[in-house]
Chains A and B, each alone.
Chain A
């Protein structure tokens, strides 16, 4: 069973293992104990596992871990724990050990028991030889005082440096040993006071407290002042009154107390070692100690295993040197600091407000790594890098500064930011735009320079048009911006204008750009085109002669269009409107602007031409017919009335068949084109019925 899985000293294996005598006997033959061998022996065997003198080997860290084998069995009687490295201590006291092992009935840690009688300086884990040696040197050096004369030699050759390296290793070993002893004490004392281990975590504190309490049942008689913070003392006292433990037997108690003494002795030895290293730290690594302080520098170096190894570490590792994972099961880790090692003990870290601590830690680790590197190459013996320290302080202070006061932003440059494009209702090239063509505008081109104001105005009208869009005819579009066609001329009337004109919607942004670069773009003028009637000029014969059409359409209608365009050329605001919107705008709620007349005439004429077709149309159907018959009693009657109205109207004018509020159809004649046209737009026309 000797080669079980190798466990760390504080881990317990619940398995029960036994060694028969024969096995033990076999071991007998090997006089040399190897590290890592796990030995168990029965109570009554006289074992002389005594290595021959001279068989000591240097304990390295690894090996000490390996040697850290505890094995427990559940059976208390068989409880045996032996560290094989224990045997290496045996020099003179071999026999004593054997005896004690024999006496070991209750399953104590044999080595610890033996420890009690051993040379005080020996430690179970440590090489006794090296330990005493080092301690001696340390004390000598401490008495000698610091020897800071500048050495031209490389650091590594310096004998003191070697001592320091050894001290580093030793301090680590001592720490491990303390942990083991702590475990031992804990095990023993659990019988007496089980809750204590969960209340007092630190091994040295625990040892002290155990020593103080001893076998005392009533804790009020025990004075724990100075050992623990008062809150903990109180908790301990309270818990002790309800504890489930029983007083220990005397010998167990004695062993426990001795173990406590041992732990405390080790602790003081460690302190001594560290002090020594610290005192030399300024000499070895001045820059590093300037930043983090000698104590922490010593610890860092110790854990890293030397200055050069420390220098080779990346900063993230340096940050974690010495980080202990102290998560007792069941305790929340929410408040535990996130992985800070020895750097936690530096003055800088302690003085940083908690919120900045992580950043400070990273910064510290980085700078200290740099310093260690400089030190390892002995680059800067004067410690000039102490300015690093000041630098770090400055940086941390800067982090803590409040943010600069917010000054109000200056206003943006006018017209520098393009406004969003207006949302266009209706599918892009379908209804909305198609209506344009039919509403009477052949092509529409918007002046580049004027659309800003037009936007404002048109937006207003868009809102209005939204309101009335339910009631308006399909002629109106809810476009705020007329899509802009960028091509073609209209002077020769072409044939195919009835179909909806494909236009490209010049977005708002583009217009702005155009405006801004108005030196570059030539002025494009918006105007309404003269829309052709959807038939040839002579197609309405014999009712309307070609000549009539030529004059009426070619001259009058065109005249209106051109006059309108001229007017629009002068006026910024009205650009960019569809015909309908133009009419609405210019009607101005009863107070018509000068453009209104021309616009209205254009519209009327367009509508007029549209309403006719060569060969005449059929009778109206369905809804219109019904409505007409309702209102005029018959279609023929309507026709009569219509003609009569037309003939009797004074001067030139228009006669309209109007559907008002979808109920009544009336024939209206109007002198004033103006009013009527407006009303027309707001009421349904026959198109709705069609």
Chain B
């Protein structure tokens, strides 16, 4: 999907994108373009990128690059694909009923789900919140198990 959505593999690219996206939600997908789930997710992203383009920007971050490992460690990304949301350089959290609020793990079942999530983040951000609740019903939220060290 590199040719369809902007793909970043360098730290400074990610930095500049985060810094320069003003008043729009920045959706950064961390994943590999070879992974099947990632592919499907990217497809959803690509199709909805234009629709949300007025209030969101979508970018893909290749998790296999060395410079990006900094971010992988920072955000504690273990599952692919993981999506981190930013707004005006603030990291936006979302409570989707799972244990991890800092990112969205997994894919979306529908385009509309993705758009709803982005909209919820946007609204929350515009109100000044840093954490929003997920508008999707729990059955459409991908479940995953958080693995803790030693647990």
Interface residues of A (CB under 8 A from B): 407-408, 410-415, 449, 515-516, 518-519
Contact = CB atoms under 8 A, between A and B. Distances in A.
B54 A407 contact: no
A448 to B, nearest CB: 12
A171 to B, nearest CB: 63
B123 A415 contact: yes
12 contacts: A407-B50, A408-B50, A410-B51, A410-B54, A411-B51, A411-B52, A411-B54, A413-B55, A414-B55, A414-B123, A415-B123, A518-B127
B110 to A, nearest CB: 15
Given A408-B51, A411-B55, A518-B128, 10 more contacts: A408-B50, A411-B52, A412-B54, A413-B55, A413-B122, A414-B119, A415-B123, A449-B127, A515-B127, A518-B127
Nearest to B50: A410
Contacts, number: 30
Contacts of A449: 127
Contacts of B128: 518-519
Nearest to B53: A410
B1 interface: no
B42 to A, nearest CB: 19
A411 to B, nearest CB: 5
Interface of B: 50-55, 115, 119, 122-123, 126-128
A408 B126 CA distance: 25
B50 A516 contact: no
A413 to B, nearest CB: 4
The 10 A-B residue pairs with the shortest CB-CB distance in the complex, in nearest-first order: A410-B53, A413-B55, A410-B54, A411-B51, A414-B119, A413-B54, A410-B51, A414-B123, A414-B122, A410-B50
A408 B123 CA distance: 23
A84 to B, nearest CB: 81
Nearest to A449: B127
Contacts of B52: 410-411
Contacts of A407: 50
A419 to B, nearest CB: 14
A515 B126 CA distance: 10
Nearest to B126: A415
A521 B128 CA distance: 14
Contacts of B127: 449, 515, 518
Contacts of B126: 414-415, 516
Contacts of A516: 126
Contacts of A519: 128
A609 B131 CA distance: 47
B28 to A, nearest CB: 19
A409 B115 CA distance: 14
Contacts of B123: 414-415
A519 B128 CA distance: 9
A521 to B, nearest CB: 13
A591 to B, nearest CB: 22
